[in-house]
Amino acid sequence: MTNYHLSVEQRFHLEAAFREIDACEDIEKLRALTRQIITAQQNEKAFAREAMLQLRKEMEFVASKKFGFN
């Protein structure tokens, strides 16, 4: 998996999560942690999608005002 320009803080949190996973011997805890990670990832994807949609709407609005479309 490629890490795109992670900040130092993000790399730190990633490494901390990896260490927690590696140290865990409780399967139920691993399952719960996996669910949390997947949920967080999907929430980030949804946020990015909504942010891009909002940006697109704003850009289209600005373009319509600039070029007199309306």
Structure tokens at 43: 């929430």
What DSSP designation does 6 have? Answer: -
Q: Which residues contact 3 (CB under 8 A, 6 or more apart)?
A: 11, 14
Model pTM? Answer: 0.65
Return d(Cα 6, Cα 68) in angstroms, integer: 41
Instruction: Fill in the amino acid letter for 12.
Output: F
For the chain, domain boundaries: 8-67
Q: Are 21 and 33 in contact (CB under 8 A)?
A: yes
- pLDDT tens, the chain, 70 aa long: 666 788 999 899 989 989 988 999 999 999 998 899 899 999 999 999 999 999 999 999 888 887 766 5
Q: Are 17 and 37 in contact (CB under 8 A)?
A: yes
Predicted pLDDT at 70: 56
